[in-house]
Each structure stands twice: as structure tokens, then as C-alpha cells.
Amino acid sequence: MALKKGQVIELSIESTAFKGKGIAKVDGLAVFVPGTAPGDKIKAMITRKKKSFREAKMLELIEPSPIRVEPVCRHANTCGGCTWQHIPYEKQVEYKEQHVRDHIERIAHLSPDIVQPIISCDEPLYYRNKMEYSFGTRRWLSDEEIQKDEFVDDSGFASGLHAPGRYDKILNLQECHLQEKISFRLLDFVRNYCIEHNIPAFDTHKNEGFMRHLVIRTSDYTDDLMVNLVTYKDEPDTVQGLMDALLKEFPEITTVVNNVNDQQNPTAIGRFEHVLYGPGYIVDKIGSHSFKIHANAFFQTNTRQAEKLYNVAREYADLDEGGHLFDLYCGVGTLSLYMADKADKVTGIELVEVAIENARFNAKENSVENARFVLGDMKDTFNDQFLQENGQPDCVITDPPRSGMHPDVVKQLANLNLKKLVYVSCNPSTMARDLKILKEVYDVLSVQPVDMFPQTYHIEAVAKLKRKSESSDG
């Protein structure tokens, strides 16, 4: 069967693929369909034709899978925030573990047996400590609205999350179950305030307007609550009025900042920042260490699950004999400080300046005197000159962004021929890509999946590597 674009066909979903899509097979050809579960029988339309696979959109759920559950959120079928609410959590982690095994086998060409049973999350809802909501002038229409005979206007003030694959359209949220319940209440309040006071949302096509993002940070171990108002213009009076209203309605707020992003890039990081109320940061803990977190600094999104992740990394690093530890992509120093008591010396490297400032502050606050932090782009900083100035590491922990490590960094790690290397990844496919190269020098002994992001297809994993001449000893 040719399966042309636009063709409507009945499919039986057999399994799941990375990025959460269901897989059906037609004459041996894989068809990927989002929003489905293994066991579903559906009517679907082919939306994309590729040589080795097809992509499709579900038009009708003919017969639901026995494992299907009713999503908690009304937006679950259209929102990009939660792609797996229709799948019970015990099945989510089962599929995620299998995805890691598949990546290790297919991409890294390693035995899937090195993948350990997944570490699941105790709280599959309301687990995020940070939510980044967006504002826009065009809202995403529901399937019901699209199918209406009469015209449905998609213009107006919208706030929520970007529709999947669309930077210019916002799903106007009426609820959200990813962060503490106060998070959505804050979003709803800001949305209503802006509408009532004629404060326009940012228009990505015209590059005009005012409100761009609302970023909310909460702390698991303190009562800190940050509201970060990201605007297109620097208008102190406008922001002051909104802040005053927020503080009156939500006395729980401990700090308010205003990031001004007057550039075309869509990020929530401003070209400059004003601290309007409170200290301009929150404090949270991982293990026995406390961390100062500014609005634009990276911090693990699921605090309590991060402790489990870091315990794995600590065990894999096996620093009982001390030595010099390098922490690549160190962020605000969470892993560095978590390991510092086991190492003689810790050196962290990070690209974001405010994160390095936080890391140095965090080291001082936690009385950690054997850690230092270096600002720089990893591919340019982590070179032979850096090693000459800072010394050779005995162990390296690397925790790169979703895209994985730059090829130059992978090459440097391979050339170093370390005793121990621990790879922490938020994208097992790019980790597997890097492991394929690193396995020529290191034995990959174990890979531990850790579920940091319930209701989504995302999965973290930690890999334990040892130099080939060393691995036979442990």
C-alpha cells in the first residue's frame, strides 16, 4: 500500500516511539501517530510521507486501548505540555525504559542489557518547580472550533503554552496540572489584569506589543515564590501596576523580576533585568545543600526527583578515593556541590554568567571551599590550555543540554582517556550518539533511566563509563 499524503486509513497502534508517538505498521511500513496508545484502533490521515515511514493525524478513536485513561486536564489532547496523560503512569515509565534500551542498542550499538530498571517519580502531577507561560495575539483553535461551519476568530489576547510546533499560536489555558496550583492562578490573574488594563500581548509577526512570558519558580524546601514578568518593552509604570496588583492578590510571592526582551528571539531571557520586589532569586535544596536560583539560571525542574538523579551520578562517579572532579555544563553548581565532599577538588564549567555567579554564591553559602567555577562556552573553553591551567581531572561528570555535547567536547573527552566518566542526559538519543564515539575509549558499564518528567515522553538517563584498562577492576 503506497500510503499517500492525505489518505485516510484505519490503523492499529502497536507500540510507542520516542517523542511519545504511537506506532502502527502497514505492510511493514511504520506510521507514527501522536496522541495514541498501544492497543488503540483509529481512523487516521497521512500528513507526511517519507521514504522509510509515514506520519499521520488521528481523526477518530474507533476502539480505545484497554490501557487508556481519562486525562486529568481538558487540554491534554491539544497541549504540548503533557503528551501522555491518556496513558497510565505505570505504563509511561515502562515505555520510557524501553525507549532508552532502543537508543542504546540502535544508536550506540551497545547491549540493551546495560540499561537498569527505571527510577520512577513519586508525584506524577504538580511536580515542576518552574513553568514558562507565553502570551500572544493568536490563540490555537480546538478541533471542535476548527470543524465548525461558521468562522471562528483566533485573534485576541491569549496566554498559556505554545501549540505543538507553532511559535506564533498560544493554547489559551484554562487549567494546568504540572506546577503547584497557585501557578495557574497566577497566570489567570495576569491574563485578566492585562485584558482589563489594555496591556497588549506580544505579536510575533509584527514585533509589537508588551507581554511576552510569565515565568513562575517555586521552591520545594522553602516558601519562596518568584514571578518573572517578561516584557517586550521597558515600561516601569506598567509593570509596577501589575506587580502591585499581584502582591495584593498573592501575598505568598517572595520576589518579582522583570526581564525585558526587546529582541526578535522568542526566549524568556531578557536583554536586561529589573528586580522589582524581594531579593531577585529563590532558594531551594537538593540533599543537604541549599541553592540560590535567579530567574535565568538553570535548575533541575523536578527538585525531589533531582535528588534521585544525583544519587545515581554520585554512585557512578565512585569518588571514595577523592581526586579532581570536572563538572561540565555545571549550571548553578548543584552536581558540583553534591559531589564536593567526596572529591579533593571540583572544577565546574558553564556558559551562562548568572549561573556561574549563583554557583559561586552557592558554594560559599554551603561552606564548600574545594569547588571553583569557570565561565565559558564548553566547546571553546574545555581545551588543552584549560587542562594545563586547571590540571587533569580524575573523573568528569557531563550534563549537557538536550542537543548533547559538541563534537569537539566529545573528542576532548575521548582524548583525555579518563579513569571515570559520568554522562547525565536529558535526551538519551543524543547521549547514545555520543556514547557511540566514547565507547572506543571507555567501557559503558551501566545506564540508569530516571523519570524526571511524568506525563511527557522526556526521560533522563545516567551512564557510567570507565577507561577500558580500568573497567575490569570495577
The catalytic residues are: 426
Supply the angle between the helices 428-438 and 89-106 in degrees, to the nearest 10. Answer: 30
Query: Which helix H or strand E contains 213, and what residues bound it?
Result: strand 211-218
Instruction: Tell me the one-letter amino acid at 419.
Output: K
324-354 burial: b if 16+ Cβ within 10 Å, else e: bbbbbbbbbbbbbbbbbebbebbbbbbbbeb
How far, in Å, are 121, 128, 187 from residue 174 at the CA level? 26, 18, 10
- CB count in 10 Å sphere of residue 315: 14
SS3 of residue 262 by DSSP: coil
d(CA 382, CA 399): 14
Which residues share a beta bridge with 464? Answer: 422, 446
User: How far apart, in whole angstroms, are the C-alpha atoms of residue 422 and residue 461?
Assistant: 10
Spatial CA neighbour of 414 closest among 397, 430, 435, 399: 435
260 close to 229: Cβ distance less than 8 angstroms: no
With vertex at residue 40, the alpha carbon angle to CA 34 and CA 43, rounded to the nearest 5 degrees, is 70
* CB-based burial label for 211 (10 Å; 0-12, 13-18, 19+): buried
Angle between helices 182-196 and 236-249 (to 10 degrees): 130
Residues belonging to the chain: 474
Q: Residue 176: name the closest of 80, 252, 259, 248 by CA.
A: 80
